[in-house]
Amino acid sequence: MKVVMLGTGYVGLVTGTCFADSGNDVTCVDINQQKIDMLNRGEVPIYEPGLAEMVRRNAASGRLQFTTDLRGPVAEADCVFVAVGTPQGDDGSADLSYVFGAAEAIAPHLREDAIVVVKSTVPVGTNRAVFGRLKELTGRDVHVASNPEFLKEGCAIDDFTKPDRVVVGVMDKKVGEVLAQLYAPFLRTEQPFLVMGLESAEMTKYVANCMLATKISFINEMANLCDRVGADINEVRRGIGHDQRIGFSFLFPGVGYGGSCFPKDVRAMISVADTRGMDAEILKAVDEVNNRQKHVLFAKLDEHFGGDLKGKKIAVWGLSFKPRTDDIREAPSLVLIEQLLAGGADIHVHDPVAVENVKAQLGDKLTYHEHHYDALEGVDALAIVTEWNEYRNPDFEYVKHKMGTPVIFDGRNLYDPEKMGAAGFTYSGIGLKS
């Protein structure tokens, strides 16, 4: 099939590359010339394990191309995917100007039977509005489908090629059949391909992210309570997780969820409810609990130092919002660092891949270290914000030797409090009994 992918962000680039890898002829289009030039040189602008190699292999085979000019490729395409950004607007709603901009740009070039597939996360009603706009522009009923994406940054290729399910919202069943063909190579092990109405598909994406965000805020609230009653959230987590109705996934407490999806999507859903005259009370609480959770590590540090962080040397391990990505959007590390800076601390940071992104934002307000052990030289405390694998099993004797005082505030519960105590550390996690 001939496929055009509009937008070369995480979703567009991964989806386009995976479709090329399964034998389709894919052209990725972006308005950012610099990005397209990079991709044409075989350089991938984001850090995503396995992606660069896959991009280069498919580009070399001629199945994957990159351009800023959509006219020719759109004129030939069976499917035009819209995977452009939907940033958060000032009022929390999703800004849809890129989605409609894309629809307007492709309208004059679309083949009669082409399918326009919206992959961007868009609030309910957007796909039907895109259909309406395309009708105004072309004078005909253009096939529009909603195809929300469920991949996670850091596992994007695996998530895309082995999806739990594929969801497609359509107005015409035949459109679902064409898209089923496109997804067939990824659905060999009987994962469901779910065809539904446009609005249900749009809701499915938000409801999934809101449910996961709710689980995280819920467990964070329970962990904070464990801290106060002398219980251990890890024991409680095991206690509840074996109940299959509850399960284990997305119930790891921490420093709050970040990234480009959960915070934005929860707020967009609150905003959708508002516009329909409904107060989304649970989601408001989820958002509020998450904002508070991003302050928990600082509160613990502040209490430890009796409210005086001035001149205290603090190491921070992990800057990206989660491991295996260089993405720092809505990252809890930034909230902690901002508070530490305001308190006058001397901050030494390490991250395996996200340092350049933080440098672009905070410059020389921080000291950056190439090796995580080097960030510990003489520090008064270490704060762990992101659970990169290399932090999971350090040489604790060496860590203690490097640190000025062996004090660790762990926002991801990586270590066993008993062992840490025995090894001479003052150690505090999130909801862990120490």
CB of 216 to ligand UGA, least distance (A): 5
Cα–Cα nearest to 407, from 434, 386, 389, 368: 434
CB of 121 to ligand UGA, least distance (A): 6
Q: Are 185 and 23 in contact (CB under 8 A)?
A: yes
Of 321 and 391, nearer to ligand UGA (C-beta) is 321
The DSSP output letter for 96 is: -
The DSSP output letter for 369 is: -
Of 100 and 150, nearer to ligand UGA (C-beta) is 150
User: Would the annotation count 377 as a binding residue?
Assistant: no
CB of 270 to ligand UGA, least distance (A): 16
Could you list the beta-strand ranges (E) of 303-345.
Answer: 313-317
Of 21 and 387, nearer to ligand UGA (C-beta) is 387
Q: Are 429 and 413 in contact (CB under 8 A)?
A: yes
User: Would the annotation count 133 as a binding residue?
Assistant: no
CB of 261 to ligand UGA, least distance (A): 3
Of 30 and 346, nearer to ligand UGA (C-beta) is 30
Q: Which of 28, 79, 226, 261 is catalytic?
A: 261
User: Would the annotation count 294 as a binding residue?
Assistant: no
Contact residues: ligand UGA, CB under 6 A: 121, 149-153, 209, 212, 216, 250-252, 254, 257-259, 261-262, 321-322
Integer Cα distance of 78 and 1 in angstroms: 6
CB of 264 to ligand UGA, least distance (A): 8
Helix residue spans in 242-279 (DSSP H): 262-275
3 state SS of 143: strand
Answer yes or no: 28 catalytic. Answer: no
User: Would the annotation count 86 as a binding residue?
Assistant: yes
CB of 262 to ligand UGA, least distance (A): 5
Of 107 and 223, nearer to ligand UGA (C-beta) is 223
Of 114 and 358, nearer to ligand UGA (C-beta) is 358
The secondary structure element, H or E, covering residue 205 is: helix 198-229
User: Would the annotation count 319 as a binding residue?
Assistant: no
Integer Cα distance of 407 and 422 in angstroms: 13
User: Would the annotation count 329 as a binding residue?
Assistant: yes
Q: Are 225 and 219 in contact (CB under 8 A)?
A: no
Is 281 buried (19+), middle (13-18) or exposed (0-12) by CB count in 10 A?
exposed
Find where tokens 């105590």 sit: 421
User: Would the annotation count 252 as a binding residue?
Assistant: yes
Q: Tally Cβ neighbours within 10 Å of residue 98.
A: 18
- Counting every residue written for the chain, the total comes to 434
Phi-psi region of 118 (alpha: psi -120 to 50; beta: other; left: phi over 0): beta
- Residues contributing to the annotated binding site for NAD(+): 30, 35, 86, 121, 153, 264, 329
| Active-site residue list | 261
- Residues contributing to the annotated binding site for substrate: 150-153, 205, 250-254, 258, 322
